[in-house]
Amino acid sequence: MGIGGRLMSVEWNESLFLSHDGMDDDHRQMAALINKLYLSIGESFGKEATCRAAQSLLDFARSHFDHEKKLMERYRYPDTLRHLWLHRELLDELHLLINRLEGSSANITTESIEFIDNWFTTHLRDSDAKLAFFLSTIDHDINPAPAL
């Protein structure tokens, strides 16, 4: 049984694929962690398991955002500040979700899940797609890309 009668999940498909190996690998893992969180909430695995799933997603998101930040700074990406602000938005929501899970407020959790779902697909298709395109235009013979 899912939230509100449907089990929500991020569908990994070509529209989320950015042709940047490091980012794509991270995003695929992030989608899996989001789906684990959905499953945990949808199937009522309990507060502890759900908090653990949310914490794993938060930890992974933090390290992924740090990788993107390093790439943006290294190549002086012009839209860095806005991009970092958007990352902050998801981290804040995940903190809020963990706090609310600890307080067992199920209806607010559903809102958070919808936010995370929308944030993830919109961010990849818009902001991360622009970043990946920018990185693809860089001459890597002169500026070798750091491993992501």
Q: What is the contact surface with Fe ion in residues (CB under 5 A)?
A: 68, 128
Q: Which of residues 98 and 128 has its CB atom nearest to Fe ion in the complex?
A: 128
d(CA 1, CA 49): 17
Q: Which structure tokens are listed for 103? A: 């307080």
Q: Which of residues 68 and 109 has its CB atom nearest to Fe ion in the complex?
A: 68
Backbone angles phi and psi of 3, in degrees to 5 = -75, 130
* Beta carbon of residue 78, minimum distance to Fe ion (angstroms, whole number): 15
Cβ neighbours of residue 53 closer than 8 Å, sequence gap 6 or more: 33, 36, 37, 40, 45
Q: Which of residues 17 and 45 has its CB atom nearest to Fe ion in the complex?
A: 17
| CB of 101 closer than 8 Å to CB of 55 | no
| CB of 112 closer than 8 Å to CB of 97 | yes
* Beta carbon of residue 128, minimum distance to Fe ion (angstroms, whole number): 4
The sign of the dihedral angle between the CA atoms of 92, 47, 45, 1 is: negative
Q: Which of residues 54 and 128 has its CB atom nearest to Fe ion in the complex?
A: 128
Local structure of residue 16 (DSSP, 8 states):
G
* Beta carbon of residue 64, minimum distance to Fe ion (angstroms, whole number): 6
* Beta carbon of residue 131, minimum distance to Fe ion (angstroms, whole number): 6
Q: Which of residues 25 and 102 has its CB atom nearest to Fe ion in the complex?
A: 25
* Beta carbon of residue 45, minimum distance to Fe ion (angstroms, whole number): 27
